[in-house]
């Protein structure tokens, strides 16, 4: 299978001195193996294809899945002569929460201490032909992703990290539509997010409002949530008073660290 330019560019960004690329491990080939033994897989599409690999390797290896999300995207159309026909900025702005769209493949694996999921938030170009393709009354507009810049990196190593990256969940039961409004996403992503949060015990069913199913925070999710909120309040106070008794660097160290990782167990999202 041909390696795409985004996949190749991310491997180049990730590679450090001593790392090895395209390494056979058992019956699989791993994108990158760190000096310390961590296995790194760059996954630009869905996570389902990694299922067999994770089943075989997670018991004995630390595995990191790197998933790129377009935080900023420019649409670049190329004509038949290879010249730029048009440029425009996409209004869509991806966030780290979009990883839930892929995590429906194996959300419960986020509790596995050997798995880390790292989201790369990118500035990227999407290279397309001069005009969309029409075939059998269907219109397609395929393209190729090209890395311009890595804007941020967010790690998921467990449920606590998920709580840090989520907006504060309501204390009262809430619907999927209300979750979508809170996250600023469409209903489909909210449904998949809710499924993942149920599988890692952050939310649970909370009956119905009329015919609408409701969710609520689990008791287990409350303590990390309060801890993250107290850390944030403490940071705000320090910054508002010039961080009395602490340097700015010390205040930054106490801030909740950006996130850190999950498996589909047969239940529909």
Annotated domain spans of the chain: 5-254
Q: What letter does residue 62 receive in the DSSP assignment?
A: -
**Tens-binned pLDDT, residue by residue, of the chain (269 aa):** 578 999 999 999 999 999 999 999 999 999 999 999 999 999 999 999 899 999 999 999 999 999 999 999 999 998 888 888 888 999 999 999 999 999 999 999 999 999 999 999 999 999 988 777 777 777 766 788 999 999 999 999 999 999 999 999 999 999 999 999 999 999 999 999 999 999 999 999 999 999 999 999 998 775 554 454 455 455 555 555 544 433 333 332 233 333 333 333 333 34
In the block, which residue shows the tokens 């998920």?
A: 162
Reduce the secondary structure of 117-167 to three states and give it as a string: EEEEEEEEEEEEECCCEEECCEEECCEEEEEEEEEEEEEECCHHHHHHHCC
Strand intervals (E) in 11-142: 20-25, 28-33, 39-42, 63-78, 84-89, 115-129, 133-135, 138-140
Q: How far apart are CA 58 and CA 39, in angstroms?
A: 10
Tokens of 134: 């029409």
């Amino acid at each position: 299978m041909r390696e795409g330019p985004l996949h190749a560019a991310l491997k180049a960004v990730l590679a450090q001195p001593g790392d090895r690329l395209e390494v056979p491990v058992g019956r699989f080939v791993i994108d990158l193996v760190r000096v310390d033994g961590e296995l790194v897989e760059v996954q630009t599409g869905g996570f389902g294809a990694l299922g067999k690999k994770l089943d075989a390797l997670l018991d004995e290896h630390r595995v990191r899945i790197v998933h790129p999300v377009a935080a900023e995207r420019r649409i670049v159309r190329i004509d038949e002569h290879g010249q730029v026909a048009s440029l425009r900025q996409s209004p869509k702005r991806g966030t780290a929460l979009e990883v839930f769209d892929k995590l429906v493949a194996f959300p419960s694996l986020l509790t596995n201490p050997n798995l880390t999921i790292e989201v790369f938030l990118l500035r990227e170009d999407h290279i397309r032909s001069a005009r969309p393709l029409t075939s059998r009354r269907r219109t397609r507009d395929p393209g190729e992703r090209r890395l311009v810049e890595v804007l941020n990196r967010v790690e998921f190593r467990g449920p606590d990290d998920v709580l840090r990256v989520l907006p504060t969940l309501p204390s009262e039961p809430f619907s999927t539509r209300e979750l979508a409004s809170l996250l600023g996403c469409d209903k489909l992503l909210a449904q998949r997010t809710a499924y993942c949060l149920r599988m890692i015990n952050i939310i649970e069913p909370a009956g119905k409002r009329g015919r609408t199913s409701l969710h609520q925070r689990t008791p287990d999710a409350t303590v990390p949530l309060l801890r993250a909120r107290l850390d944030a309040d403490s940071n705000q106070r320090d910054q508002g008073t010039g961080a009395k008794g602490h340097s700015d660097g010390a205040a930054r160290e106490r801030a909740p660290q950006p996130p850190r990782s999950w498996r589909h167990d047969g239940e529909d999202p």
